[in-house]
Chain A
């Protein structure tokens, strides 16, 4: 298993590889027209370095998801710019994969076909599809239809589909939110492994404080609407992290103090 210094190692390697720094500069987002519109995010400045695992937490309705969607390119900021790897984000791209709160699989296609559609060449390489299904532990479910899957399985297919595009940045919008506690813990471990193996830069929205401390290298705390950055907390604990340690509790208390 990895420790803190090998996470540093991930960053070091990544500096030689393609840059995937995420820079959010003076970003505000207003829904609706002019002053009557709803201000969802106000003047966000944030930097997530290549290879980092950032989580965004904050009360519901504070614009966490909106921030993530702007990084994905699904929504333009009203003011400011979002850059990934130095390039201004304009629309979606293969370099950024996303998993939503819901699996959003196409119900009319099999699991394998759903994953194939996640590949730029639509999965001419059958082995790559099988490999991705194996990665998420579903190699026997390629011919199943989404309705035949449990929530956790469907979310794993969604993860495989997002990874199929070989993204450098993976955006996760509470993908584990709907799962039971055990499945959730298992998927947290899988996620960490995938992050480390594939040297991804991850930004995840969560409302679970423990999950944020368990997974991330930095925690971004947003204020209530309109969302502003309250604080960015670096988490320098070694992986794998243990929820039962005193250090873990220090972070937990700091976060609870900020959110309550």
Chain B
């Protein structure tokens, strides 16, 4: 059907068919163009996501364990959460330039909130029954974190990390389309300006594929870490 609509239907000449895509993928891979863009996008996501997770999880745990502090922060967070990361790009470009810093800022911003919010949620939802046990067993702060908070919040933490990653992956592609000279987003934009629809579609497919791969990875990690729940 895809082949038919591409070759005989309304999109003839504009939309590539499956056979076109196969040759395009072949060409882009063998020239190293595709793998180069993929590598750069992956590197950006790893870097930015790492920064976001490394700050959002500890901050979330801190905010959740200081009830007053969370209430103070919540309205501001709610406001920031509603802004799509891409909307910040002009601001980031002005302040950080058009280099890597801007893309990183977008990724960090996109990943931060889902992780942060879900961390707070996960810690908040710990049954007070367990806190009483922790009191009776004279847990230190460190023990509370290691034996109670982290394991109890793991399901929520992983949800946050998974959402954060898919959020930042989408934001990254947008950022690369607007302010980059490399990466999958840039590849799509430059193909568009050359009216290479086949390359655009290869870009789109790879973005979707990698995004699904991340999701699958998080689900595998979740299953691994939550073995104690049984099936």
Instruction: Give the interface of A toward B (CB within 8 A).
Output: 72-74, 91-94, 96-98, 100, 102, 104, 106-109, 117-118, 120, 145, 147-148, 161-162, 165
Contacts and interface: CB of A to CB of B under 8 A. Distances in A.
A145 B228 contact: yes
Nearest to B129: A104
B135 A147 contact: no
Interface string B175-191: 00000000000000000
Q: B132, B137, B138, B229 — which one has the most chain A CB atoms within 10 A of its CB?
A: B137
B74 to A, nearest CB: 25
Contact of A92 (B129, B135, B151): B135
A165 B230 contact: no
A74 B151 contact: no
Interface of B: 129-130, 132-133, 135-138, 147-148, 151-152, 154, 228-230
Contacts of A98: 136
**B133, B138, B148, B229 — most chain A CB neighbours (10 Å):** B133
A61 B230 CA distance: 36
A12 B80 CA distance: 68
Contacts of A120: 138
A162 B137 CA distance: 9
Given A91-B135, A117-B137, A145-B230, A106 B129 contact: no
A74 B134 CA distance: 11
A74 B137 CA distance: 12
Given A108-B228, A117-B147, A97 B152 contact: no
B228 A72 contact: no
A258 B148 CA distance: 43
Nearest to A122: B143
B135 A108 contact: no
Contact of B152 (A74, A92, A108): A108
A76 to B, nearest CB: 13
Nearest to A93: B138
Contacts of B132: 74, 100, 104
A147 B136 contact: no
A120 B140 CA distance: 11
Contacts of A117: 137, 147
Contacts of A147: 228-230
Contacts of A97: 136
Given A100-B129, A102-B129, A117-B147, A107 B229 contact: yes
A72 B136 contact: yes
B138 A106 contact: no
Contact of B151 (A72, A106, A118): A106
20 contacts: A74-B132, A92-B135, A92-B138, A93-B138, A100-B129, A100-B132, A104-B130, A104-B132, A106-B130, A106-B133, A106-B151, A108-B151, A108-B152, A108-B228, A109-B147, A145-B230, A147-B228, A147-B229, A165-B136, A165-B137
B228 A118 contact: no
B97 to A, nearest CB: 46
A118 B137 contact: yes
| Max chain B C-beta neighbours (<10 A), residue from A97, A106, A118, A165 | A106
Nearest to A108: B151
Contacts of B228: 107-109, 145, 147
A51 B133 CA distance: 24
Contacts of A100: 129, 132
Q: Which 3 A-B pairs have the closest CB atoms?
A: A108-B151, A108-B228, A92-B135
Given A145-B230, A147-B230, A106 B148 contact: yes
Q: Please indicate which of the listed interface residues A91, A92, A94, A96 has the most CB atoms of chain B within 10 Å of its own CB.
A: A92
Contacts of B137: 117-118, 161, 165
Contacts of A148: 230
Contacts of A108: 151-152, 154, 228
A94 B138 contact: yes
A73 B135 CA distance: 9
Nearest to B151: A108
A170 B148 CA distance: 23
B135 A74 contact: yes
A147 B152 CA distance: 15
A72 B133 CA distance: 11
